[in-house]
Structure 1
Amino acid sequence: MVQLYFWFSGLFLLFMEEAKTAKENTDPIMVMGILGESAILPAEIPLGKKLVNINWSSRTPVAIVQPDPGTSFKLIITHQNYVGRLNVISLNYDLKISPLKMEDAGSYRADINVQADTTSTMTITKNYLLHVYRRLAPPKITQTSMISKNNTCNITLTCFAEGGEDVKYQWTPLEEQAIESNGKSSLFIYRRPEDAHINYTCTVTNPVSNNSESILVHLCADCLSGTFDPSCCILLSVLVKLVLITLVGVGFYLWPKIKQGRIFWETMQKNIPSLGWNSDFLEVFNIEEEEKEESLVHPLTHFPFLLNHLPNITIL
């Protein structure tokens, strides 16, 4: 009798362990979705089992699904964040979330209650892990260049994908060393000025999408040959801007003086005949062309000369 008792006890414990394994999946089901699109959490109701209800939850309760003879199912949303974004696929009671938000990512749990027999029910628990990704836009590539002492052009290409999670980078052609750091990929290239230009492509991928961008690499010598690679020509462009600013400043400073000189000479040419001065005075007052140009800037240069020839004019 004692041996029979232990045999039944062992059989019962084995049955309970098998039942526990059948009721809950310890490894979560991985589900991937795209931001703004949809994701489906599969319920997977066992064949031959009649569904009583499904309690969906995440960090908080999400929804309750109940079979309904009239509409095939009844959906009760228990969290405001999911209002208007949940639906049930009537054939298998899978839960559909659409459109997806980034905050939807995380762990989900489904407690599926089914009839084990005519008098009892059984709960099957399923766990899910939802990942939400963005579709990748074309990455951005920047180039920096520097000439070394041995006349080698050291070029660094940096590729960056915005809003990327689990992003992988690939360079084509991959001739030199590439390093990934802080969500970016840097490619180091060493060329001589006489080497041909090469087109490099950076391809970015995540679990739901991929995209790429290309750049034609200009060598450091292009800054002097007229190609004007921005990374090489920053200093030259700054110098050009400084020269332009200086010329504009000098122009603003001299223009009032030049304008004042022109007004002075125009006034003198109008008033000299009316003063009755003879031709001898005009010949004496005739100034060389170079002196006139200088007088435009300094209109009072000949003022003492004029005072000596204006006896009839009283200076107030």
Structure 2
Amino acid sequence: MHREMFQRRSLTVSSTRVLALILLQGVCVWSVKIHTVNAVLGGSVVLPSEHRREDVKSADWLINNTIIVEYVNNNEPVYKAKGQIKGSFKMNSHNLSLAISNIRQEHNGEFQLTGIDKRGTQISTTTFKLLVHESTLKVHITQEPPVRLNNTCTITLTCNASGPPGATFSWSGHRTGNDASVQFSLKPEDGSVRMKCSAQRNPNEKDEQEVIIKCANTTNGTAPIVVVTLAPPTDTDILWWYVYHIAIPAAGGLCLLILSIAVGVCYCKKKNAEGNEDNTCYADITIGRKDNPQLQGQLLDHT
């Protein structure tokens, strides 16, 4: 009787321990840590890895459960991304970290690194949640009331950055500096000078603004005034705008037109070769044939 009760109690304790072990293992399996990474449209980011490349037999990077990079036995990685994100991934040559460039909205989602080590054991899965957003960093230069004394203008400019705090500043042009504000003096004979403020919150968020400042004489002989205007785009800015918005689209349209003409000519020649009597197709007639009486006769016969 006592032995039977003892056996039942032992069985109950053992079952409880097994159940507790299963629950603990379940917690361990499902408590996957997800690293949140923020990225800016058009920027770049690196998803790190704690595994050395030579220690891993095979590995895959996935985005939203779709394989985008495949690595096996020290061979070069095979990139399988398609669509808008194709060509934006690069695996590090020393480890399995993944560099993502030219970030788009299509990069939003969950990235996972899975694989098997040299012993055939599955490596710990690393998960990242990539959040893509537009940059909120916009630079705006403001001017404090200038001090005008003895034909000299003392000017203070402040660089303001929109969005969250933490932006760093740098000034270039007539004066340089690394603070949000910069102060300098000008005289009318100095003419117009340029000042540019550049702000950066992280490697992917940058913006800048440039102004033209002038300490100008007045016609009534009073103290000079300060004139601050936004700097117009430089010749380089205009050139790049022309290349991206006019030259490249125009070149693409021209190539498409040439390709369409070539396809049309080939199609017409093929139809003529097959004995097609469609008289409206004269794609192979060139300038100068009107002087050939024999050719003119052939054309008139068709009509």
TM-score bracket, shorter-length normalisation: 0.3 to 0.5
Larger radius of gyration: 1
Q: TM-score, with normalisation over the residues of structure 1?
A: 0.40
Q: TM-score, with normalisation over the residues of structure 2?
A: 0.42
